[in-house]
Amino acid sequence: MEISPQTLFTGQQLLWLPACGSTNAEAQRLLGENRASEGCTVATGHQTAGRGQRGNQWEAAAGENLTLSVVWLPTFLAAGQQFLLSQAVALAVHDWATALLGPSPALRLKWPNDLYYGGQKLGGILIENALSGAQIQHSVVGIGLNVNQLAFGVPTASSLAALTGRAYDLGALAARLLECLERRYLQLRAGQVGGLRRDYLQVLYRYQEPHAYEVAGQRVHGQIVGVDADGRLAVEIDGAVRRFGLQEIRHV
């Protein structure tokens, strides 16, 4: 696949694999061998053992979607600032989708960083950070986006092609994604965290909308009111704001 992003460093070192188990694992291997410069990108046409959030498996049809991992060296971030990187990456993916689908209130980021259109998932992100003392040493940013796939095993998944009725050139879309990623990463590196937090809340799925959730096996009604610095979801339930980590709350 031809991928030629107009970037300073993201995707300038690029490894294309027709098939692999996990692009994150391949990127980690390159890091371990000191063969990955900042922005090194591993992309594949068929990921056979992809992973998602909460240990879920990420499934994608061969040759129809975007599956890639990017290596960054965000040593300017403290260990406690990992969610800022997650926000920057999620916003880059949202920027990418907005450029293709147009601005839409249906296009949202579901906490912490899944891309949704309406109630259907278009893509997911898995970031693996390595720490050195109190700082982040390196990050492997794995992204899976549904592009040309039309048939899914679950009704809650969709793709660009299913939404628009057209097929896409994966190489061109990969290059555009890498450009979006670098813009948001440079925004983060410049310390513009207030803008990132604001932009994230503006496109957060069901932000400030009453909805049903499941907490500790119980159905509750609440309203998302924000996300704290540690990435915990803040939900107002029965007049009190409670904060939840991954696996502690889910949308019903």
What whole-number distance in Å separates Cα of residue 236 and Cα of residue 111? 15
239 Cβ contact list (under 8 Å, min separation 6): none
The burial class, CB within 10 Å (0-12 / 13-18 / 19+), for 210 is exposed
Residue 142 · residue 128 · CB < 8 Å: yes
Tens of pLDDT, residues 37-83: 999 999 999 999 876 544 555 567 889 999 999 999 999 999 999 99
The burial class, CB within 10 Å (0-12 / 13-18 / 19+), for 181 is buried
Tens of pLDDT, residues 137-182: 999 999 999 999 999 989 999 999 999 999 999 999 999 999 999 9
Strands 41-44, 14-17: pairing kind: parallel
Phi and psi of 229, rounded to 5°?
A: -65, -25
For 114, other C-beta atoms within 10 Å of its C-beta total: 18
What whole-number distance in Å separates Cα of residue 198 and Cα of residue 126? 22
What whole-number distance in Å separates Cα of residue 46 and Cα of residue 67? 8
Residue 20 · residue 47 · CB < 8 Å: yes
Handedness of CA 92, 95, 99, 100 (dihedral sign): positive
Q: What angle do CA 12, 96, 179 make, to 5 degrees?
A: 20
Mean pLDDT over each residue of the chain, to the nearest integer: 95
The confidence score (pLDDT) of residue 226 equals 97
Q: Which two tokens stand for residue 16?
A: 């294309």
Tens of pLDDT, residues 71-110: 999 999 999 999 999 999 999 999 999 999 999 999 999 9
Q: Which of 22-26, 53-57, 132-136, 182-186 is least confident? A: 53-57
Quote the pTM value.
0.95
pLDDT tier at 220 (50, 70, 90 boundaries)? very high
Following CA atoms 4, 6, 10, 16 in sequence, which dihedral angle do they give, to the nearest 10 degrees? 0
Residue 148 pairs with which residues in a beta bridge?
Answer: none
Helix (H, G, I), strand (E, B) or coil at 69: strand
Following CA atoms 245, 247, 249, 252 in sequence, which dihedral angle do they give, to the nearest 10 degrees? 150
Helix (H, G, I), strand (E, B) or coil at 57: strand
